[in-house]
């Protein structure tokens, strides 16, 4: 027996639940759908918190043609649900919500010019608690 293993919590029946892990490079490029099944974009990047390791955002690209004119939307990871039938992520969003959502263009230097006030605004817009709470 390996005494260095960290035990995983058992569920109510005493079974240890299986974990569905995926490599970040497999998430990038995955399609994003509305709950209706309509494709609305794809995941360009997964943003992780350096210190906690928690997934903060899935950056969804939408619009444009061959990457030109695409906008990028930082979606809180918690608004996405993986749908095995679609082979992609679902988000419950209307056209109006998407049109008003925080976004940036490829020309923006969003990654390196981080405004710490932007994160709470993004989570507030999507109506979910921030990952850091």
Q: What is the pLDDT of residues 97-122, one digit of tens each?
A: 988 998 876 656 555 556 677 888 89
Domain count, the chain: 1
Name the strands in the sheet holding 39-48, side by side, starting at the edge strand that comes first in the sequence: 81-83, 88-91, 31-34, 39-48, 55-62, 71-76, 104-105
Residue ranges making up the domain that contains 62: 24-126
Query: What is the pTM assigned to this prediction?
Result: 0.75
Q: What is the pLDDT of residues 42-77, one digit of tens each?
A: 999 898 888 898 999 999 987 665 555 678 899 999
Does a structural domain hold residue 87? yes
Does a structural domain hold residue 122? yes
| End-to-end C-alpha distance for the chain, whole angstroms | 36
What is the rounded CA–CA span in Å between residue 126 and residue 33? 16
Contacts of 11 (CB under 8 A, 6+ apart): 17
Does a structural domain hold residue 15? no
Does a structural domain hold residue 11? no
* CATH code of the domain covering residue 63: 2.30.30.240
Does a structural domain hold residue 47? yes
């Amino acid at each position: 027996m390996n005494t260095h293993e960290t035990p995983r919590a058992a569920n109510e029946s005493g079974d240890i639940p299986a974990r569905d892990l995926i490599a970040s490079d497999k998430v990038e490029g995955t399609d994003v759908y509305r709950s209706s099944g309509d494709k609305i974009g794809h995941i360009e990047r997964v943003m992780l918190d350096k210190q906690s390791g928690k997934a903060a955002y899935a950056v969804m690209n939408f619009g444009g043609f061959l990457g030109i004119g695409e906008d990028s939307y930082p979606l809180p990871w918690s608004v996405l649900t993986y749908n095995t039938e679609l082979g992609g992520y679902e988000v419950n969003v209307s056209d109006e919500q998407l049109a008003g959502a925080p976004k940036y263009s490829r020309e923006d230097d969003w990654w390196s010019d981080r405004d710490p006030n932007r994160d709470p605004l993004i989570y507030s817009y999507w109506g979910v608690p921030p990952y850091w709470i």
